């Protein structure tokens, strides 16, 4: 089964990473845990490891590319496996705009907003910090 190699979020604040160096090339046999690439994050240089074994079938990002977290950068699969659907999906995703427009939230007229049930203050119990009186 084909495995996507994506730009992993290697730190909590990471939004994209720079592909410093591929440690493999297309056609290489890899095992789970093998280092695939070195990535420069917003904090440090780190390695991306293979999650599954197989043959490196496609390297979709070039060294020096800045790639968004979650973007497909490679494919690992069996040597004879059809990966065309994954590659087409990657090409479609690359041609989409990077920023999605979010429609504005609907405006609610002031009359339609609910009012609090009561505008009177809620009485609070009186608490006094005094030592107990000995009788």
CATH, residue 48: 2.40.50.100
In a domain, 7, yes or no: yes
CA distance 31 to 25: 14
- Whether residue 100 is contained in a domain is answered as no
Range of the domain at 13: 3-95
Residue 112 lies in a domain: no
Nearest-5° angle of CA 91, CA 95, CA 96?
120
Q: Is residue 117 part of a domain?
A: no
Q: What is the distance, to the nearest Å, from the Cα of residue 31 to the centroid of all Cα atoms in its chain?
A: 24
- Assess if residue 71 is contained within a domain: yes
Does the residue 121 lie in any domain? no
For the record, the structure tokens of 86 come out as: 């994954």
Q: Report how many domains make up the chain.
A: 1
> How long is the chain?
135
Q: How far is CA 93 from CA 22, 41, 86, 98, 126, in A?
A: 22, 22, 10, 9, 63
What pTM, to 2 d.p., does this model score?
0.64
Q: What is the pLDDT of residue 129?
A: 67
* 17-65 residue pLDDT tens: 999 999 999 999 999 999 999 999 888 999 999 999 999 999 999 999 9
């Amino acid at each position: 089964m084909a495995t996507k190699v994506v730009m992993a979020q290697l730190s909590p604040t990471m939004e994209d990473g720079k592909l410093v160096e591929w440690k493999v090339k297309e056609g290489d046999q890899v095992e789970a845990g093998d280092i695939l690439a070195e990535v420069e994050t917003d904090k440090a240089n780190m390695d991306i490891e293979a999650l599954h074994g197989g043959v490196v079938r496609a390297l979709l990002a070039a060294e020096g590319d800045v790639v968004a977290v979650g973007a497909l950068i490679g494919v690992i699969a069996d040597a004879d496996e059809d990966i065309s659907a994954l590659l087409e999906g990657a090409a479609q995703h690359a041609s989409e705009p990077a920023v999605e427009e979010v429609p504005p939230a609907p405006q609610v007229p002031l009359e339609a907003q609910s009012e609090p049930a009561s505008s009177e203050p809620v009485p609070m119990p009186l608490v006094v910090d005094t030592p107990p009186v000995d009788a």
